[in-house]
Amino acid sequence: MNRFNRPTIRKRILESMNFSVFFFIAIIIAFLLGISFISSTSAKDQKQVLTDAVSRDIIHCYAVEGYYPPSLAYIENHYGLTYDKSRYIVDYVPVGDNIMPSVTIVEIHGK
């Protein structure tokens, strides 16, 4: 293109609109990828938070009462443990009063 042959105003508008649309779509895609990454990270952290909460409540019960809790329902009623039961299965197996119980937390992937 030389200086005497300038593109028409209509052509310049269309070119700038194409750039704007492309830029807008790129921003939307970056935003959606960021949300997806944050969501997957948050889901991984939730299981760790539940594991820490159950362990903390078990140890707290032993420190206060002198024995480990007899069941998971006991922890829920007396120490305020709450979790999403439709998303996690907590297997609580008490061994004895002075032996720490076995706790297994399994995430349900169907939901």
Can you name the residues that pair with 102 across neighbouring β-strands? 93
What is the structure's pLDDT at 101?
94
Averages of pLDDT over runs of 10 residues in the chain (111 residues) are 64 69 88 85 84 95 93 94 92 90 87 51
What is the structure's pLDDT at 1?
55
Give the pTM: 0.64
CA–CA separation, 11 and 51 (whole Å): 61
What is the structure's pLDDT at 18?
72
What is the structure's pLDDT at 10?
65
The domains of the chain are located at 9-107
Of 56, 109, 65, give the one whose Cα is nearest residue 87.
Answer: 109
Q: In Å, how far are 26, 33, 50 from 15, measured between CA atoms?
A: 17, 27, 53
What is the structure's pLDDT at 106?
92
